[in-house]
Amino acid sequence: MEIENVIIFTIKITIVNRKYILPLFFVFQILIIKILAIFPKEIEQYYSNGFYPIISRFLRSVFGAIPFSIGDVIYASILIYVIYILLKYKKNWLRNWKNSLLKLVSVLSLFYFLFHLLWATNYYRVPLSEKLKIKKEYTDKELLDFTQKLITKTNATHIEITKNKSIKVSNPSSRDKIFVLSQNGYDQLSKEYPFFSYEVPSRKQSLFSVPLTYMGFGGYLNPFTNESQVNYKLPIYGYPFVISHEMAHQIGYASESECNFIAFLACIKNDNLYFKYAAYSMALRYSLANVKLIDEKKFNVLKSRVNLGIIENFKENDSFWKQYDTFIDKGFHVFYDQFLKINQQEDGIDSYSKFIDLLINYYNNKAIE
């Protein structure tokens, strides 16, 4: 009888304490991630260049050939299920708020685990600037010189496409065709840098493009399915750059500035002129914005040298986002800014523009291709 009582007592303890397992695991995971962040070289070797390429190839092999976004379907299903549970059991959730909170933290614990296992540990890998041996600081003169180089290159590419300084660029390819064409840039880039190789494509137009637009996002990587999602409502002239950015996330780069930098290199390596133009015009836009911050007079002089058609593309982009400018995108930008800062990107949402730092130093002693 004593043995039976011990067994029964043990079972009861297990049942009572089981609800604390995942919440405690959540705390344990946070501590482990903080410790792992101290060892970027080990993460680079064993995760980013070890486990991650295997799991990412597997996920893209499973989901890549499916013509629609499985990740979006999963997110939508979860959202519908959560709303259903909240409505059905709202009284019980409020009455038993402690158990409800434990259930919520348990779910977050599982998501947090899968998020880092399948992709997010890449946030803590060796910085690309260290990998390529380029610095990130620059002088005002270096910024001005680089901006002038970009103006010359962007103007030349614009004229090659339109044959007219005043006409804006409109990419004639469909969005699905742009997905296919994006592979060429990475194939060319990987000849110089094998670690930028992109294999087993999984590129999708997001089913959530309208909500993404209101949230102020051009695309995202689904870390659970490794599908790159692109907002199909974006102005098409810049579409090649956005998909190239999301592809950079897929090959294991988490930093937004690094992904912009990789996207630029992949686009200008592409045989397609519209990809080159998307990269040059994107970089020029950010570069001019940086010049404006330090010297508005020089900004106005440099801007006057830009073809009117390029300015029209900039206006097209501004007009597109302005019509969706609400409290929603501001709220999500605040949230995403904090999310990035938590995940090793100190500049938050401003990190997107920091790829100019990398470009200036990358092209410091050489011409832009």
What are the domain boundaries of the chain? 2-124, 128-362
Residues contacting residue 134 through CB under 8 Å, at least 6 positions apart: 358, 361, 362
pTM over 0.85, yes/no: yes
Rounded mean pLDDT, 71-91 = 82
**Closest residue by Cα to residue 279 from 365, 176, 164, 363:** 363
Confidence of residue 51 (pLDDT cuts 50, 70, 90): very high
Structure confidence at residue 20 (pLDDT):
79
Structure confidence at residue 342 (pLDDT):
60
Structure confidence at residue 31 (pLDDT):
93
Structure confidence at residue 91 (pLDDT):
67
Structure confidence at residue 336 (pLDDT):
46
Beta carbons of 123 and 223 less than 8 angstroms apart: no
Helix (H) or strand (E) holding 73: helix 70-88
Q: By mean pLDDT, which of 5-14, 129-138, 315-324 is the weakest?
A: 5-14
Arithmetic mean of pLDDT over the chain: 87
Phi, psi values for residue 285, rounded to 5°: -60, -50
Confidence of residue 155 (pLDDT cuts 50, 70, 90): very high
Confidence of residue 344 (pLDDT cuts 50, 70, 90): low
Question: How far apart are alpha carbons 360 and 117 in whole angstroms?
Answer: 34
Structure confidence at residue 332 (pLDDT):
47
pLDDT at 318 over 80: yes
Question: How far apart are alpha carbons 339 and 116 in whole angstroms?
Answer: 14
Rounded mean pLDDT, 44-70 = 96
**Closest residue by Cα to residue 137 from 361, 345, 364:** 361
Q: Which residues, in sequence order, are bridge partners of residue 204? A: 229
Which two structure tokens, joined as six digits, stand for 359? 């470009």
Q: Which residues, in sequence order, are bridge partners of residue 219? A: 230
Residues contacting residue 186 through CB under 8 Å, at least 6 positions apart: 196, 197, 198, 244, 247, 266
Confidence of residue 137 (pLDDT cuts 50, 70, 90): confident
Question: How far apart are alpha carbons 221 and 204 in whole angstroms?
Answer: 10
Residue 23, judged by CB atoms within 10 A of its CB (0-12, 13-18, 19+), counts as middle
Which two structure tokens, joined as six digits, stand for 126? 């060796």
Question: How far apart are alpha carbons 201 and 227 in whole angstroms?
Answer: 9
The residue to which tokens 């409290």 are assigned:
327
pLDDT at 13 over 90: no
